[in-house]
Amino acid sequence: MSPAVLALLALLLAIGLSMTTRVNVGLLSIALAWAIGVYAARMKADAVIAGFPSGLFITLAGVTFLFAIAKANGTLDLLAHRAARLVRGNAGLLPLVFFALACALSTIGPGAVASVALVAPIAMPTGMQAGVPNLLSAIMIGTGANAGNLSPISAVGAMVNALMIKIGLPGTELKVWAANFAAHVLVAIAAYFLFGGIRLFKAGRVASGEVASAKLEGRHWLTIAIASTWILAVIIWRVNVGLAAFAAGTLLVLLRAAEERDVIARIPLDIIFMVTGVTMLIGVLETTGGMELFTGMIARVASPATLNATIAFVTGVISTYSSTSGVVLPAFLPMVPGLVRQVGGGDPYAVALSINVGSALVDVSPLSTLGALCVATVSDPVAARDLFRKLLIWGLSMAVVGAVLCGLLATPFARA
């Protein structure tokens, strides 16, 4: 069996295990990259190691380190509580604010999973008390978090933009974010109308239960100030996202805004290794020619006219069960140039946007982390099972919706 076939089988194994087990496929991918690269492809060990994305590792570790501090010292929790208290008026506004709050948190850096973990425990009970259907609350929280997930200063956005540069599509940061944001806004609007958002305006005011919230202390204001400075530095002066985040986080630790041990324990190294490990295996796949085999498989069922819809559907189905940022995006974005070439046409930029959007729209499925977090906040077992079933149907349907949206709009958006 050729090294190319072995590398492709290794990637398919990693994707399959990510969908069916709790094995960290990043660590598995590093081991497979070494075994196949050195002993099947006769690569030097240093060449295999060179495929490890050290820049991406720094970016992910730095951003998660900074926001682990904000989580550890209670800053993010307090800001989320205060934002929730601002919407105690008409019940019809609550789902919209859930979307906006999750989107804002995700946009500034923590990412979709961390944002949902912060917002869902507050928003789901608040929505239930006000008469908001659990399904609508969960969709608005998860979709909102995903809407901001590809911002240039978020960990996932930085990863995607690095991959876009690698495949020859630099300078697309704002369009990558805008395409993802627009798709999720459209889906959120549809959910709002479908699941009773308009009717909520006739339901009167939200129940009077007040969300307890402590006062912002010195360490909280310090965290807000330094994190805000970091955001401005990234946006205005284009400083390196990861290195600047390490500097900001280290400054907060030195100023005793949080305990270092507590912060380090909160850095999601499992996710970081998942992303970087799969990327390392992709490097071996490219070197051995396995990438050409994989793109050829997809190219056989697509044409230039259907490529955007096809790739959005394929990545959407896989992402329903697998990690979008940890597996799907690192595996599929590097395929874009070869896929366009093998199909015989298509816009590489539009194909990349289709992968981003198609894989993300399904993430409110309860089989994905975002949906699971929302279901976990529902204490009533009957209501939780009902929400699980409805979210599963919604999540799976988004694979089709993503394919339709990308098939119709990805190319015009990419050329705008």
In whole angstroms, give the CA distance from residue 186 to residue 240: 32
Q: Select from 404, 391, 313 the least CA-distant residue to 359.
A: 313
In whole angstroms, give the CA distance from residue 89 to residue 114: 27
pLDDT in tens, 169-225: 998 889 999 999 999 999 999 999 999 888 887 665 554 444 445 788 999 999 999
Place of tokens 């060449």: 47
Within 13 Å, how many C-alpha atoms sit on residue 12's CB side? 12
pLDDT in tens, 285-310: 889 988 778 778 888 888 899 999 99
- Rounded to the nearest 10°, the torsion over CA 94, 102, 122, 267 is 180
In whole angstroms, give the CA distance from residue 180 to residue 120: 21
pLDDT in tens, 229-241: 988 887 678 788 8
- Helix 290-299 to helix 307-321 angle, to the nearest 10 degrees? 110
pLDDT of residue 313: 93
- Helix 173-194 to helix 155-166 angle, to the nearest 10 degrees? 130
Among 207-216, 243-252, 269-278, the minimum mean pLDDT is found in 207-216
Per-residue tokens: 261 = 């041990």
In whole angstroms, give the CA distance from residue 5 to residue 9: 6
pLDDT in tens, 385-409: 888 889 889 988 999 999 999 999 9
Among 104-118, 246-260, 390-404, the minimum mean pLDDT is found in 104-118
Per-residue tokens: 270 = 């499992």
| Element holding 320 (H helix, E strand) | helix 307-321
3-state SS, residue 205? strand
In whole angstroms, give the CA distance from residue 158 to residue 67: 15
pLDDT in tens, 148-177: 999 988 888 988 999 999 899 998 889 999
In whole angstroms, give the CA distance from residue 66 to residue 361: 27
Among 91-95, 395-399, 410-414, the minimum mean pLDDT is found in 91-95
Place of tokens 């205005």: 236
Per-residue tokens: 343 = 């199909």
The alpha-helical segments, DSSP class H, found in 148-211 are 155-166, 173-194
- What does the DSSP 8-state code read for residue 212? P
In whole angstroms, give the CA distance from residue 386 to residue 3: 47
